[in-house]
Amino acid sequence: MNETVTIKDKFAAALKEFGLPRLIITGFLVLLLVMAPFVGADLPTQISNIINRFSWNGILVLAMVPMVHSGCGLNFGLPLGIISGLLGATLSIELGFTGPVSFLMAVLIATPFALVFGSVYGWLLNKIKGGEMMIATYVGFSSVSLMCMMWLILPYHSPNMVWGLAGKGLRTTISLEGYYDQALAGIARITIGRISIPTGTLLFFALLAFGIWAFLHTKTGTAMTAVGSNPTFAKAAGIDVDRIRTLSVVMSTWLAAIGILVYEQGFGFIQLYMAPFYMALPAVSAILIGGATVNKATIMNVIVGTILFQGIVTMTPTVMNNMIHMDMSEVIRIIASMGMILFALTRKTEAAR
């Protein structure tokens, strides 16, 4: 008798912890997966799609973790890191590298950009503690629109990247065929029936995720968590709060740069100009769906969130189309992901500011 009550209580507490929106989204995905075979959707292809998309987007979502840990909130300034990645990608091709080597070079070239941009961005965020998220959003927007001009002006010459007629100015989409298309995904790819698993990309994600996990357990990593949960206490304990925060921003920016390169190698194209503009929002909502809050995020949140979010993105169009011949996926995606962010923003997170 007594036990049932406690189980019930536990269940209620777990439900509260889990949150209603997250429950709805998980339920929705389960419903889609159950319905898929009945409406004639091809389940193996769908699962293969989800795994693939997870491998493309995982690192972009992972990029949220350091900044959330140090109390800088959700990194709406993700586009800044993406731009470092894009600079690495385009410069690597411009310098004439081909094949998988071009991926390695893109990572190497993107890194200094990410470090510099990240340091400046971190310095700025230290000046405006408490208002990080709004300003991060606009730092992202400004940098994307500034780079729109730069893609036109910078002296790129590689014929595979510039507009054919004018001979200058980068194209909006650049094919990666012959460069690093499937550079990671092609490594040890496993194919079971119609399910194909990009082992290389998944391993790369696992490596970075483990790296972040391990980092968060080092002395500096613990300091980062301390700064995020109570800056005053951290300061009293002798931690240089501003330095730790900058470090977290640099890490987030660098992960975003690597994330976009991994995304491109799976997708097969580099997208320039306005493409990075809204890329922060799917990543933000993915980690929130995974159970993170504005000031708490774990690697598990990243993995669960990316699977759930990408699951919905891939499953809704097919299932919906087969069922009611109406493609409402885009609208559902917007409402679900934005609703999730709104929900997270309204939670009381009275961490000492």
Partner 1 sequence: MKNSFLAKASVPLMFILICAFCIPIAGLSPSYLANEIVTRMGRNSFLILSLLIPIMAGMGLNFGMTLGAMAGEIGLILVSDWQIVGIPGMVLAAIISIPISVLLGVFCGKILNQAKGREMITSYIMSFFINGIYQLVVLYLMGSVIPIKHSSIKLPRGYGIRNTVSLLRMRQHLDNLIAIKAGGIKIPVLTFIIIGVLCVFIIWFRKTKLGQDMRAVGQDMEVARDAGINVERTRIISIVMSTVLAGIGMIIYLQNMGNIATYSSHSQIGMFCIAALLVGGASVDRASIGNVFLGVILFHTMFIVAPRAGAYITGDSMIGEYFRVFVSYAVITVALVMYETSKRKAKSAAGEQLARAQEEEENAGKEQA
Options 39, 216, 299, 345; binder of partner 1; rule CB under 8 A: 345
Binding of partner 1 by 218 (CB under 8 A): no
Report the DSSP beta bridge partners of residue 173. Answer: 271
| 179 residue type, one letter | Y
Contact call for residue 24 and partner 1 (CB under 8 A): no
**Amino acid identity of 348?**
K
Stretch in the footprint of partner 1 (CB under 8 A) among 96-104, 139-147, 232-240, 257-265: 139-147
For residues 64 and 75, what is the distance between their CA atoms, to the nearest angstrom? 6
Site string for partner 1, 51-90 (x = CB under 8 A): -------------------------x--------------
**Site for partner 1 contains 127 (CB under 8 A):** yes
In the complex, minimum distance from the CB of residue 269 to partner 1, in angstroms, rounded to a whole number = 20
| Contact pick of 7, 188, 338, 351 for partner 1 (by CB under 8 A) | 338
Binding partner 1 (rule: CB under 8 A), the pick from 153, 188, 190, 351 is: 153
Binding of partner 1 at residue 129 (CB under 8 A)?
yes
Among 296, 46, 34, 55, which residue's Cα sits nearest to residue 188? 55
Query: How far from the centroid of its chain's Cα atoms is residue 1's Cα?
Result: 46
For partner 1, the closer CB: 77 or 200: 77
Binding flags for partner 1, 170-209, as an x/- string (CB under 8 A):
----------------------------------------
Tell me which residues in 296-335 interact with partner 1 (CB under 8 A): 326, 328, 330-331, 334-335
Closest CA to 129 of 351, 324, 282: 351
Out of 3, 96, 130, 192, the residue judged to bind partner 1 by CB under 8 A: 130
Q: Rule CB under 8 A: say whether 352 interacts with partner 1.
A: no
Query: Longest C-alpha distance within the chain, in Å?
Result: 80
The residue count for binding partner 1 (CB under 8 A) is 36
Q: Look up tokens 């629109």; give the residue.
A: 145
Residue 21, interface with partner 1 (CB under 8 A)?
no
Contact status: 16 vs partner 1 (CB under 8 A) = no
What minimum distance in Å lies between the beta carbon of 85 and partner 1?
20
Q: Which residues bind partner 1 (CB under 8 A)?
A: 76, 124, 127-131, 133-135, 137-139, 141-142, 145-146, 148-149, 152-153, 169, 281, 326, 328, 330-331, 334-335, 338-339, 341-342, 345-346, 348
